[in-house]
Every structure is written in structure tokens, then in C-alpha cells.
Chain A
Amino acid sequence: MRLPRFEYIEPINFEGALDLLYIHKDNAKVLAGGTDLLVRMKKGLLKPKIIISLKALKELSYIKKDDSYIKIGARTSIADIIASDLIKKEACALFEACEKIGAVTIQHYRGTIGGNILQDNRCIHYNQSAFHRSGRQPCHKDGGKICYARDASDRCNSTCQSDGATALMALGANITLVRKGTERIIDLDNFYTTDGIMPFAMESNELLKEIVIPIQGGKSSYKRLAYRSAIDYPIVSAGVFLKSSDTSKNEIEDARIVVGAIARAPIFLAKASSFLKGKKFNDISAFKKAADISMDNASTFAVHNVGSTLEYRCAMVSEMVFQALKEAAIVTQE
């Protein structure tokens, strides 16, 4: 399968990349690992005139501890994250999520964490070849007015299937976006919009520089369901974070439950999360209840558009959340 023509530019430093984005804006796309971008271009979903490659920007590839934060450069490869003891210890959910991204051949060093969390939403009706899509009216995401996933829907129902995003949102991460002359920090809860067509609150002249994870002393876990253990995208995923109180090690002080691959963005489930506050770490029935609340709340967003049946995926929300909670609790108590 051939790529459409484009002009390839390789800036030698970060400033150079920002300058190019400032000039070309919507006409340009940023290439890191290419495992998502090039596939979309081959299918004719994206037709950038300019490709700005981050190949030479080694300064965007790092994992470091800074006070009570873990800072990860946007171009850090998935393989580097898996190999990091710091991530494994302080942000286990991210380690578990990265381990499941793609397959080793893609992970090794082509895929990057920045690319993973900035991957566009997917839908079985949209992520198809140009030939497939040419046979029918374009959908919302393709510039049309129809949604094939949900009858009579006036908006796009594509799904965010990023593993990294779900885990990072559970960890309460925020990201640094830079454009020429200015930079801003935004937490992932606000970064992901609920718009299927434009899933991120990001301008076309902005570049993702860094991901910052607060070290809060809690434990996290990530579980996902996919057809195969490798290559496939998740059809349901759950990232959880549990923190014990300072006074009683067996009491949950803070909980964050995030469910991915169900809605247009990973969703933070406020009701299920707050239900766990004050509960005991060995209270399995409380985890079961929180998982069921998660399923009830998340199911309202689910659309039949990433494979498998809707009923099965919704039922599995409960199971994935339950497994993730159990694992985070076991690790906390060790």
C-alpha cells in the first residue's frame, strides 16, 4: 500500500519544529513513530502536505524523576517506558498499558507514548480503506452528516482506543503543549473533548512536549480486553488508582477509576470512584459494587463500533474494573 505524496521535513531542534508548525499549521502533521499516522495516510484518512519528523529531536526522549513528579518526554518510545523501573514502581498502570500496545515489532522503538495518547479516535466504519468508504455517504468524521455506528446520530461516535491515555488519566497525569512563544499545561481530563471528530483540545500549531505524572504514593493498575494479546486495540479497558489514608493503611482515601475504549474519550467515573473512598482494601464486595456502578455509568456512552457486541463490551467494563481494583489493592497491601 502506497503513501500519498508529501514533503518530508526533519527539523534539527525543538524550536525548529515549532517554527514549522507555526508556518504550516493544518497542512502539516507531526511524525514520531508513524505507527498510527502512516496507517491513516495510507487509508486516505489524512492528507498532510508536509510531514514534520521528530527523528532528530532526541531531547524529547526521556523519563526522569523531578521532586514528586515523573516527567516523560513525548517522543519516548514505548519500549523505553516498559524498561523503566521508575514507571514500574510509581506508575504501574502506565507500564501495564504500554506492555499491551501493539506488538513487539511496533513497540520496540517506533511507537512513542506521545503518539499513543494523541492517536485519533477510531470506528470500524471510519477506519477503512478509501475504496470501502467511497461506496457510501461520508460519515461525520469523514466530513459528512451520517453516523453508521448509531442510527440517526447527529454527531460522531468514534471511540478513543488509546491504552496510554486511559492509564495516564487514572494516574492524574497532565501534559505540556507548546507552540511558538508560549506553552500551557493541561490535565488529561480536560484535554480529551467529548467530540469524536476533534478528540483533543489541541491547536494545529501545538506540539506535545511532556507528560507529567504526579507521584501520589498510591498504587495503580490497568486491565484491558482485546481479541488478541498483541496487535489489537482494546475493546474495553480500565485504569484505576488507589491510595491509602495516612492514618490507616487499610483504608482507601482516594480512588480514580477510568474506563477506556468505550466512549469518545477515556471517561473518569466520578460516582464509582467516590464510592470507594473510606472503604477497606480487603473489601472485595465494595470493589464488585464499584465495578458495577462503573458499568452502569460507562454503558450509556458505549456504541457498537469497535468490534464485538455492545452487550459483551458493557458487561466486561465491570470485569475489567474489578480486576484492576483487585490488583491495585493486592499490590498496596504487599
Chain B
Amino acid sequence: MATNISFILNGDEISYEVKDHWTLSHLLREEMGLIGTKEGCGNGECGACTVIVDKLAVNSCLYLAIEVEGKIVETIEGLASTSGALHPIQQSFVKNGGIQCGFCSPGMIMSSKALLDKNPDANHEEIKHALAGNICRCTGYVQILESVEAVKNMGGQNE
């Protein structure tokens, strides 16, 4: 069965006809072509598919698309400004080597954003806790944590 839902995606109001069994990651990637969000395990174990729904980081592979009705969804595509300038978190990942193969990066960055939006002064332990659900198979965790920590010192430039 198909249902028409409306929600806000990266600031734009969207209306879309979704099938009952679609997950949010399926809707974003397969239907809307927003392939920035990655799907790793599809079982909620790796965090690659992390997106932000109503300010909370969630696994989009375990979120039914039909349930985002009326919610505010943010994906990696919505981070850069319209002029193309990268978001401070993205800049920090680039600058501090937080990206290796890049597959986990969208999830890592969305988890980091959910944390920093809520708690801009998050300490090392809080960052580790917030990123505990994201796996990096290149094992570049140290640089990723450093990248998130470094955002604090950037003072939100280019925003």
C-alpha cells in the first residue's frame, strides 16, 4: 500500500508517496537519489545510515519511511551551504584526517552534528559516547574523535 506523507527534508517541505515497507534509508537513497546517506549492515549495527530526525540521530535503515510524517529530517546533503561551502564539522573532518575510505563519514558526521547541536562543548567522553554506534572499518577512530573535538575551536566559522 502507498501513503502520501509530508515532512521537512534539509529545510525543504517534501511530499512523497511511500510504500509501507520502505525504510527511511530506502526512501532517501533508492527513491530520492540522496545517496550521501550510506547503508552498511542494514541491521542497526554500523551507524553508516545515521540521519537526524527531530534533532535526534537515528539509524535510517531501521526507521520506516512512513513514520517520518510531519518530522524534520536532516541528511548529509543538507550540511553544506547553498554556495557549496562545507559545514564546520565537514571541514574539520577534511582538515584533521577524519576521512579515510569515507563510507562511515556521513554517519559519523550526522552523529557528531546531533551531539554538537545539543551540546557544543561536548568533552572527549561525551563525543566517544555519541559516536559509539558508528563503526569505522578503516579504524580511523582517533582522527575522527580529534576532528569532532577540533570543531569546538573553529567557532562555527562559515556558518
**Could you tell me which A residues sit within 8 Å of B by CB distance?**
1-8, 31, 34-35, 38-39, 42-43, 51, 53, 55, 102-106, 108-110, 229-231
Are B44 and A109 neighbours in the complex by a CB distance under 8 Å? no
Of the listed stretches B7-15, B20-28, B88-96, chain A binds B20-28
Question: What residues on B are CB-neighbors of A106 within 8 Å?
Answer: 44, 58-59, 62, 133
Q: Which of B20, B23, B57, B64 contacts A105 (CB 8 A)?
A: B57
Question: What residues on A are CB-neighbors of B36 within 8 Å?
Answer: none
- Other A-B pairs, 5, CB within 8 Å; known A5-B21, A34-B63: A3-B21, A105-B57, A105-B111, A230-B133, A231-B133
Question: What residues on A are CB-neighbors of B130 within 8 Å?
Answer: 104
A202 to B19, CA, bound (A): 31
Can you list 14 A-B contacts (CB < 8 A)? Answer: A1-B61, A2-B23, A6-B21, A8-B1, A39-B43, A43-B43, A102-B133, A103-B132, A105-B47, A105-B134, A106-B59, A106-B133, A108-B58, A109-B58
**Interchain nearest-CB distance for B119 vs A (Å):** 12
Are A108 and B45 neighbours in the complex by a CB distance under 8 Å? no
Query: B56 at interface (Cβ–Cβ under 8 A)?
Result: yes
Query: B67 at interface (Cβ–Cβ under 8 A)?
Result: yes
Question: What residues on B are CB-neighbors of A103 within 8 Å?
Answer: 47, 132-134
Tally inter-chain residue pairs, CB-CB below 8 A: 87
Are B133 and A105 neighbours in the complex by a CB distance under 8 Å? yes
Query: B120 at interface (Cβ–Cβ under 8 A)?
Result: no
Which residues of chain B in 33-48 are interfacial with respect to chain A, using CB atoms and an 8 Å cutoff? 39, 41-45, 47
Q: Which of A2, A55, A108, A110 contacts B26 (CB 8 A)?
A: A2
- Between A1, A7, A104, A230, the greatest number of chain B beta carbons within 10 A of the residue's beta carbon is seen for A104
Task: Contacts A8-B64, A230-B132 given; indicate if A2 touches B44 (C-beta within 8 A).
Answer: no
Query: B147 at interface (Cβ–Cβ under 8 A)?
Result: no
Are B129 and A104 neighbours in the complex by a CB distance under 8 Å? yes
Which chain A residue lies CB-closest to B135? A231
Q: Which of B45, B62, B67, B132 contacts A55 (CB 8 A)?
A: B67
Which chain A residue lies CB-closest to B50? A105
**Interchain nearest-CB distance for B83 vs A (Å):** 30
Query: B151 at interface (Cβ–Cβ under 8 A)?
Result: no
Question: What residues on A are CB-neighbors of B21 within 8 Å?
Answer: 2-6, 8
Question: What residues on B are CB-neighbors of A31 within 8 Å?
Answer: 64
Are B64 and A104 neighbours in the complex by a CB distance under 8 Å? no
Q: Which of A2, A7, A110, A229 contacts B132 (CB 8 A)?
A: A229
